[in-house]
Structure 1
Amino acid sequence: MTTHDFAGRTVLVTGAAGGIGGAIVRQLAAAGADVIAAGRSEESLAAICAQTGARPLAFDLQSHDSVRAALEGLDLWGVVNCAGDGGEIATPMDTDVDVFDRVISINTRGALLVTKYASQSMVRLGRGGAIVNVSSQAALVALPGHISYGSSKAALDGMTRVSALELGQYGIRVNSVNPTVVMTPMSAWYWGRDDVQGPFLDAMPLHRWATEDEIAGPVLFLLSDAASMVTGVALAVDGGYSCR
């Protein structure tokens, strides 16, 4: 088996109907993985599953019972926690606490629930495995207006490190990727504004937005045997923005 051959490995990808999640599903399927594409509804997953042959799995990340029912006993080798909520652009003074709670519930608590039940199955199978959490550059540097999103992703990075510490004894590696902005519909409403994108790209050494495939590639690396000695890291995929 080559380092990027996932034949015989079942990998769950949450947020599979989204841009980055879809790119991860496509790259995993092309590398031979048995991909389970997860989202809130099977209808939202129909296109990516038809394109790649992935198996759909619908559950609600905000519901403990829904996640447990979907994942308990499901045989998995790997997991990508990619589902996310961008929240709002707000300062700590004017943030909507209900929005903050929702973002934490999806981005952090939801990833924890998936990790909880997926890792139980991975330990039971005794084959090791890998978990990759799709975090953000907002966990590494302060971004204006990102009090909810940045907090949720910083907590996700902390969860990544603790999970790596706890699961390493079972041969399970846990890492994060921390992407810069990908110009998806979810991000364009804010990052596409002239007063925002100009100064941001000027401050980034590579001076451009990332593509979905440029985020999926490092995710596959961290899942793969090429990263067999890598665990507990937060890998910036941000064009150098966080090195300023």
Structure 2
Amino acid sequence: MTESSDQTNPGRTVVTQMSAVYPELAGKVAVVTGAAQGMGATFAEGLATRGVHVVGADINEEQMLATAARINTDLESNALADKPGRVVGARVDVTKPDEHELLAQLALKEFGRVDFWINNAGIFPFALAEEITPEQIGATLSVNVEGVLYGAQAAARHLGPGGAIVNMSSVSALRVRKGRGAYCTSKAAVAHLTESLAVEFGDKGIRVNSIAPGYIDTAMTKWVQEDPIALASALDAVPLHRLGSPEEVFGPLLFLLSDSARYVTGHSIAVDGGSRHV
């Protein structure tokens, strides 16, 4: 991976595709939720570039199908992708356990196996603590926590020894912000749930880890990027003084799926430019 400064926006860095290659991943099959855009789409494309077949799922079926078609078309003309994988798009409501099982069955039908499961889907609500409604806290915990649990349950039914589950937590599990009480609570739950799953699924030879991103340049952080004061404040809290890129989250994901991490389970890797220390 290489990076260079974005002269039009000093808080951003232009990052090229990750250069890490793990040959053992080729031919494996991954399910990625929340894959229609943002980090999920980056995960799906990065894995497929390395020969991993992907079932990408999202609540927005139309956008997911369009993303899958774009990735497949791009890979056909990508000289750097040697025997790329294929991305199949599907709709999923992660709050419904049965729909996770349908994703597993789709992976089995299309590719004959399931090796990895990335629970990436999530929502990012805003409300001051006194204004959080039952509907908001319910929806946040349902998508961000139950969605991870149900995905992991489906994965555990189909992954064999050597399989890996990666959940998306957040530095918000460790550092709270005003107006994000529901979100921070949900991500703290994901981090702890990951540890619990790692202990129980270890008997099956399945590893479970999480990634805790900080400020990443996606649609979810538009609110801070579009507010100069908020952006300056955010970057002051990041020792590297810039936003991260989805590709920089994909690097640790790739490691956690690879054989290089075959003795790593129950951990959360912070990808936050050091902001959890400030």
TM over 0.5: yes
Quote the offset at 1:41 in angstroms. 4.3
Q: Does 1:109 align with 2:183?
A: no
Asked if structure 2 preserves the Cα contact closer than 8 Å seen for 1:12 and 1:38, the reply is yes
Q: Supply the distance in 1 between the matched residues of 2:97 and 2:201 (Cα, whole angstroms).
A: 21
Q: Which residue does the alignment assign to 2:57?
A: 38
Q: Supply the distance in 2 between the matched residues of 1:94 and 1:190 (Cα, whole angstroms).
A: 21
Q: Supply the distance in 2 between the matched residues of 1:120 and 1:204 (Cα, whole angstroms).
A: 40
Q: Supply the distance in 1 between the matched residues of 2:172 and 2:225 (Cα, whole angstroms).
A: 13
Query: Between Structure 1 and Structure 2, how many residues are aligned?
Result: 239
Asked if structure 2 preserves the Cα contact closer than 8 Å seen for 1:16 and 1:38, the reply is yes
Q: Does 1:64 align with 2:64?
A: no
Give the ranges of 4+ consecutive aligned residues of structure 1 lying more than 4 Å apart after TM superposition.
Answer: none
Structure 2 residue identity aligned to 1:48: T
Q: Does 1:15 align with 2:53?
A: no
Q: Supply the distance in 2 between the matched residues of 1:156 and 1:37 (Cα, whole angstroms).
A: 21
Quote the offset at 1:56 in angstroms. 1.6
Q: Which residue does the alignment assign to 1:84?
A: 122
**Superposed CA RMSD:** 1.8
Q: Deviations over 1:133-180 (max 9, x none)?
A: 111110121222210111111101111000110111222111010001
Secondary structure of the structure 1 residue equivalent to 2:131: coil
Quote the offset at 1:29 in angstroms. 0.6
Pair 1:67–1:181, CA change in 2 (3 A):
same
Asked if structure 2 preserves the Cα contact closer than 8 Å seen for 1:5 and 1:31, the reply is no
Secondary structure of the structure 2 residue equivalent to 1:93: helix
119, 143, 156: which one aligns with 2:156? 119
Asked if structure 1 preserves the Cα contact closer than 8 Å seen for 2:162 and 2:262, the reply is no
Q: Does 1:157 align with 2:195?
A: no
Secondary structure of the structure 2 residue equivalent to 1:57: strand
Asked if structure 2 preserves the Cα contact closer than 8 Å seen for 1:61 and 1:110, the reply is yes
Q: Which residue does the alignment assign to 1:48?
A: 67
Q: Deviations over 1:36-67 (max 9, x none)?
A: 11112442212321213301222211223333
Structure 2 residue identity aligned to 1:225: D
Secondary structure of the structure 1 residue equivalent to 2:198: helix
Structure 1: gaps of 5 or more residues: none
Structure 1 residue identity aligned to 2:120: C
Secondary structure of the structure 1 residue equivalent to 2:130: coil
TM-score with structure 1 length normalisation? 0.91
Q: Supply the distance in 2 between the matched residues of 1:68 and 1:34 (Cα, whole angstroms).
A: 18
TM-score with structure 2 length normalisation? 0.81
Pair 1:13–1:82, CA change in 2 (3 A):
same
